[in-house]
Amino acid sequence: MRAVIQRVSEASCTVDRKVVGAIGDGFVVLLGIEDADEQDDVRWLAQKIANLRVFGDDDGLMNKSLHDIGGSVLLISQFTLFAQTKKGNRPSFIRAAKPDKAVPLYEAMIAALAAQLGREVATGVFGADMKVSLVNDGPVTIVMDTKDKDSH
């Protein structure tokens, strides 16, 4: 499971010209799910995202988490995070999980993040053509991969 986490001051997701999810301060999380991913990856990543300290404290240091600022999450499924570009110019997405595997894990991530944060998580629409607008604050962008969870 791979996540691109962007600290934002505001963000929204539109499908068919209708806003389906919107937040103020918090994170836009672009989430890629691959065939090897399991519930353990969901739990680990949700905890890391919820506790990631990249918001400024009174001294301007990145010491605060979503909990500390009352921040929100806009979670967007994005299979293209597992694009393979080694050969040719057209990416291969063979590592990305098919919907029958990805949808339950995406829904589990929504629930896990909501439980970690104690509030609803805004989302896009899985598999839809989405337009994501955001104001990247900083900019701060962090990439996490659950394959790294066991390394030091």
Q: How many residues in the chain?
A: 152
Check if the beta carbon of residue 33 is closer than 8 Å to that of residue 75.
no
Q: What CA–CA distance (Å, rounded) separates 108 from 76?
A: 13
The per-residue b/e assignment along 127-147, b for 16 or more CB within 10 angstroms, e otherwise, is: eeebebebeebeebeeebebe
Task: Find the Cα–Cα–Cα–Cα dihedral 35, 116, 20, 69, rounded to 10°.
Answer: -130
- Residues acting as catalytic residues: 80
Strand 122-123 and strand 72-77: pairing?
parallel
Question: Which of 137, 122, 134, 112 shows the shortest CA–CA distance to 49?
Answer: 112
